Structure 1
Amino acid sequence: MRATRTLAALDEIGAGDHVCQLLNPSDDVMDRSRAFIADGALFGDKVVIVGRVPQAPGDLASRVLDPARLRDSLLAAVRREAASAEREGYRSLRVFHHVTSDGSAQEAEQLLRSELDLEEFAAGSGAVVVCAYSGADWAASTLDKVRCVHPHHLGSRPASPAFQVYRTAKDGWTLNGVVDADGATAFGAILRTLLQQTVTVRLLCHALDFFDAAGMSALSDAARCLPDRKVVLEGTNETVRLAWELSGFADPSIPVVMAP
């Protein structure tokens, strides 16, 4: 069973980890890439570096995947690399993703979709994926969203967000923590992104403590954002179910199922 963890260093990562690393301004991405490669070599893993590295040194160039030059999605590219690693006799795949901004209007939405894809990939394949963000290059609201879909955290602000959504079962996602006014916008965006890919989103909520009014509104609005979609919350506690009912959300017109 995957579980959330806060890491002190890259050498603490394990199979299937999807890590959000927030970089300090002084952090050198090339140095961190080399350290990541060295750790991979110790364990017999194949390592790829994802990012825009126009003048990568020779020892890194052969390992770099430039997102701007991929013929299809990043998810498809890392799946090919994982299959290649297996054929070549490596134990597994390690991906160091230096996430940079392209300045597009759709960037935040596309980034969240990509991170959810990578989370599902890591959980299903056992690959290690580290996504490194420079805090100075990203809006705080964007970082809030992407931090919520990484079960593992490392860096200058390693504390976990108030809630997290991460893959734990073949057909489900775990939701833990508290979804309140501070996290409602991020939660709604995550749910809408998941609902664009599947008719029913199943959330395992055994470690969900509470929704406040803003969190419940975000859940309701997201569930109704597309026709014929549904959100099923399994393992909710009595407090969560009672708050949902007393707030008037237990309505047949709202495609949300709350189950103990």
Structure 2
Amino acid sequence: MRASRTLVTLDEVDAGDHVCQLLERTDDVVDRSRAFVADGALHGDKVVIVGPAFHRGSEFASLVLDPARLDGTLLAAMRREAAHADREGFRSLRVLRHVTLGRRAEPTKQLLRSELDLEEFAADTGAMVVCAYSGDFDLPTAQRIRCVHPHHLGSSPGPPAFQVYRTGKEGWTVSGIVDSEGADAFATVLCALLAQTATVRLLCHTVDFFDAAGMSALADAARHLPDRKVILEGTNETVRLAWELSGFAVPDIPVVIAS
């Protein structure tokens, strides 16, 4: 079963990992990621680099994609390349994605949704996906980026209050605390998941608490689209009691809280 973990170097990236690499402004993304990309030839992986600024280092890649010029979504492109890689005899797909954030920019809903797509893709196919972020971003931005990656590189300050990542074919693990600081990001994540399937199963064995904002985000997201349902499994007694006492355990909120 996949589990959240911290990597010391990109040499530790394994099959099915979806890694967040936060870079300093002075870091060179090609230099920092060269070994990961170059190792594709050693292990028989098809290397795909995603990012408009990759010129150096592309000699190690089978394909370089500019996300602004894709015909369709990034997920669709990744699935096509995974199918091609299988037919071409590669072991797996090895993806390096570079995202540059502008000054004081926060990750958009589209960015969080694309990361969820890549998370599901990595978990379902066994591909190795490293998302390298550079540019100007503050601590809240870094936390939102990391909350949709189960794996991260290094000891960056201020880990996210919660994480969401794929666990098996039927569910998503949620860990930590969903509070006012992370409620908007959590709502975005949940709405994105509900847009893809009628029932979203959240495994909450490692969730400590939802505060009032977190519960409101959960309720609003569950009602965002018609005929959708959210099932929370493994919730602790505190979460179940808070949900009931806050008045959210009503028929018009399609959320099932289970032990």
Q: Per the alignment, do residues 142 and 230 of structure 1 end up closer, same or farther by CA in structure 2, a change over 3 Å counting?
A: farther
Q: Which residue of 2 aligns with 1:219?
A: 218
The structural deviation recorded for 1:102 is 8.8
Q: Which residue of 1 aligns with 2:75?
A: 75
Aligned counterparts of 1:175 and 1:130: Cα–Cα separation in 2: 21
Aligned counterparts of 2:24 and 2:100: Cα–Cα separation in 1: 14
Q: Which runs of 5+ in 2 are unaligned?
A: none
The one-letter amino acid of 2:41's match is A
Aligned length: 258
Q: How does 1:68-147 map to 2 (within 5 A)?
A: 68-101=68-101, 108-136=108-136, 138=137, 141-147=140-146
Aligned counterparts of 2:192 and 2:115: Cα–Cα separation in 1: 11
Q: How does 1:7-86 map to 2 (within 5 A)?
A: 7-53=7-53, 55-56=55-56, 59=59, 63-86=63-86
The structural deviation recorded for 1:195 is 1.6
Aligned counterparts of 2:174 and 2:146: Cα–Cα separation in 1: 13
The one-letter amino acid of 1:83's match is A
Report if aligned partners of 1:199, 1:229 keep a CA contact under 8 Å in 2.
yes
The structural deviation recorded for 1:141 is 4.6
Report if aligned partners of 1:33, 1:49 keep a CA contact under 8 Å in 2.
no
Aligned counterparts of 1:241 and 1:99: Cα–Cα separation in 2: 38
Q: After superposing the two structures, state which structure 1 stretch, 140-149 or 15-24, moved more.
A: 140-149
Q: Which runs of 5+ in 1 are unaligned?
A: none
Give the structure-1-normalised TM-score: 0.90
Report if aligned partners of 1:173, 1:202 keep a CA contact under 8 Å in 2.
yes
The structural deviation recorded for 1:55 is 4.2
CA RMSD of aligned residues (A): 2.4
The structural deviation recorded for 1:212 is 1.3
Q: Per the alignment, do residues 61 and 95 of structure 1 end up closer, same or farther by CA in structure 2, a change over 3 Å counting?
A: closer
Question: Percent of aligned positions with the same letter in both sequences?
Answer: 71
Q: Per the alignment, do residues 4 and 61 of structure 1 end up closer, same or farther by CA in structure 2, a change over 3 Å counting?
A: closer
Q: Per the alignment, do residues 190 and 8 of structure 1 end up closer, same or farther by CA in structure 2, a change over 3 Å counting?
A: same
Aligned counterparts of 1:54 and 1:97: Cα–Cα separation in 2: 10
The one-letter amino acid of 1:96's match is L
The structural deviation recorded for 1:12 is 0.9
Report if aligned partners of 1:21, 1:132 keep a CA contact under 8 Å in 2.
yes
The one-letter amino acid of 2:211's match is D
Provide Cα deviations, 1:164-202, integer angstroms capped at 9, x if missing partner: 111112121111111112211211111112122222211
